[in-house]
């Protein structure tokens, strides 16, 4: 179902009339989305300004940064961007805030961004880079202040379709050593992340044996990788499957037998392999593992299958509680645990990436969804626990070069068959309840999932990436 106000906003005349008359009609900015697969020149033709401590000022026309291997400027140039002077209209800003360590130094944010925010073009992207400082309380507090700045600026600029995000380097990271965030910079400064804003992601040390990203070509991100996607017949699951295939991956599409026609149609379209299993059946996990063993090694798993059975807790039946917790929480954990068990080395690749579809409801809660919110919050907790040492309890292979990763993607209001069935007024309020004032598309979620599955995100582990346009609830 189309968004009337978003369609109306495409008319320059309509936007002018609304602005001049002051009529309180929402006029969201049409977002620019990257439909094509990733390319090495992700940022080709974009004018991006760089600022912050530790970065030598680079004006338009200068293409040689001080540090060829580590400087953020060289990273952008390698991605095809044009390092722009501060007088130009801008497609993006990259700001190094790693050296800000005291409250007084936060004035650097004002001094830099105050004159530039008005020069950002619609649908531009802003990215700040911070650093964890756990051993220095004042520095740590000052770095935490960056998150408040980013979230507020994202809300101020969201009406123009502009995104603002923050990535935080691990302690002790040199301000000039940014090779491992090459993929993150490309993702957040490109239209691959158009519906991701106001987010803070912690960067991890690269796992042992991970190939350096500075030597990687950022194209065909999932080439030669076999990826399982559950709940792949419709909506977000089908979009994820298509995006994985577009990045060169081989997709195993799993859904229940009732969805055979839709599942096989998607599989034919992307040359994937359909797997018909009802995950709520008693033997579903062992059957799934048996199938996966036939196609090992598996390089990634997207736990997308899920259901809602909404009722207030007082009115909720035991079956509604149990079915939602089982499919949304217990089954993904059971499948992952079995893949990480004694037979793990024969099922998973050593660098396998697990992505769990959570929800903003799991972060902020939602009335009538105690079952669903509990399940989705549980997935976030599981990914964090597995990333920060929990995987060691399942396998002894970690000491032999294992480098699995576990992350969540938390969608907000996304246009799907389920949201089309909502009452009009509820749907309209939900669409506007974020900084970008519109709903997301299934491919917005698919973009985030494909990125987390790929080697471009090897420094992201145990994190939750919200694809919600900065929903007004939660962090």
- R_g of the chain computed on alpha carbons: 22
In three-state form (DSSP H/G/I as H, E/B as E, the rest C), the secondary structure along the chain is: CCCHHHHHCCCHHHHHHHHHHCCCCCCCCCCCCCCCCCCCCCCCCCEEEEEECCCCCCCCCCCCCCCCCCCHHHHHHHCCCEECCCCCCEEEEEEECCCCCCHHHHHHHHHHHCCCHHHEEEEEEEEEEEECCCCCHHHHHHHHHHHHHHHHHHHHHHHHCCEEEEEEECCCCCCCCCHHHHHHHHHHCCHHHCCCCCCEEECCCCCCCCCCHHHCCCCCCCCCCEEEEECCCCHHHHHHHHHHHHCCCEEEEEECHHHHHHHHHHHHHHCCEEEECCCCCCCHHHHHHHHHHHCCCEEEEEECCCCCCCCCHHHCCHHHHHHHHHHHHHHHHHHHHHHCCCCHHHHEEEEEEEEEECCHHHHHCCCCCHHHHHHHHHHHHHHHHHHCCHHHHCCCHHHHCCCCEEEEEEECCECCHHHHCCCHHHHHHHHHCECCCCCECHHHHHHHHHHHHCHHHCCCCCCEEEECCCECCCC
Check 110, 112, 346, 372 and give the catalytic one.
372
382 catalytic per annotation? no
The three-point CA angle 388-392-397 to 5° equals 125
Q: Would you please indicate which residues are annotated as catalytic (active-site) residues?
A: 372
């Amino acid at each position: 179902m189309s968004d009337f106000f978003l369609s109306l906003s495409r008319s320059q005349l309509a936007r002018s009339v609304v602005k001049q008359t002051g009529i309180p009609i929402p006029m969201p900015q049409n977002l620019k989305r990257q439909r094509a697969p990733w390319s090495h020149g992700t940022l080709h033709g974009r004018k991006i300004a760089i600022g912050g401590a530790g970065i030598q000022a680079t004006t338009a026309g200068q293409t040689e940064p001080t540090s060829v291997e580590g400087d953020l400027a060289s990273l952008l140039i390698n991605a095809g961007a044009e390092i722009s002077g501060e007088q130009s209209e801008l497609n993006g800003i990259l700001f190094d805030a790693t050296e800000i360590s005291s409250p007084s130094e936060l004035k650097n944010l004002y001094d830099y961004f105050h004159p530039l925010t008005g020069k950002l073009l619609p649908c531009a992207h802003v990215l700040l880079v911070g650093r964890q400082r756990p051993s220095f309380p004042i520095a740590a507090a000052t770095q935490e202040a960056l998150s408040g700045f980013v979230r507020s600026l994202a809300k101020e600029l969201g009406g123009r379709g502009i995104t603002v995000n923050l990535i935080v380097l691990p302690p002790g990271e040199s301000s000039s050593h940014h090779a491992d965030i090459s993929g993150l910079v490309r993702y957040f400064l490109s239209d691959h992340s158009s519906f991701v804003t106001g987010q803070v992601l912690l960067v991890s040390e690269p796992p042992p044996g991970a190939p350096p990203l500075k030597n990687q070509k950022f194209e065909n991100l999932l080439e030669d990788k076999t990826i399982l996607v559950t709940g792949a017949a419709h909506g977000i699951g089908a979009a994820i499957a298509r995006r994985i295939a577009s990045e060169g991956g081989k997709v195993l599409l799993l859904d229940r037998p009732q969805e055979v026609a839709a599942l096989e149609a998607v599989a034919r379209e992307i040359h994937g392999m359909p797997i018909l299993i009802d995950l709520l059946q008693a033997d579903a996990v062992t059957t799934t593992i048996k199938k996966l063993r036939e196609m090992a090694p598996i390089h990634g798993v997207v736990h997308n299958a899920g259901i809602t059975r909404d009722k207030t807790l007082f009115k909720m039946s035991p079956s509604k509680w149990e079915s939602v917790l089982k499919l949304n929480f217990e089954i993904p954990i059971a499948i992952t645990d079995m893949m990480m068990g004694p037979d793990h080395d024969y099922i998973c690749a050593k660098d396998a990436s697990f992505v769990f579809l959570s929800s903003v409801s799991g972060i902020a809660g939602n009335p009538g969804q105690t079952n669903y919110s509990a399940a989705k919050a549980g997935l976030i907790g599981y990914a964090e626990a597995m990333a920060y040492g929990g995987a060691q309890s399942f396998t002894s292979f970690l000491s032999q070069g294992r480098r699995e990763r576990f992350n969540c993607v938390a969608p907000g209001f996304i246009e799907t068959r389920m949201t089309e069935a909502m009452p009009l007024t509820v749907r309209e309020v939900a669409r506007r309840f974020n900084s970008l004032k519109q709903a997301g598309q299934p491919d917005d979620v698919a973009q985030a999932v494909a990125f987390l599955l790929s080697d471009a995100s090897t420094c992201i582990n145990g994190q939750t990436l919200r694809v919600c346009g900065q929903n007004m609830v939660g962090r």
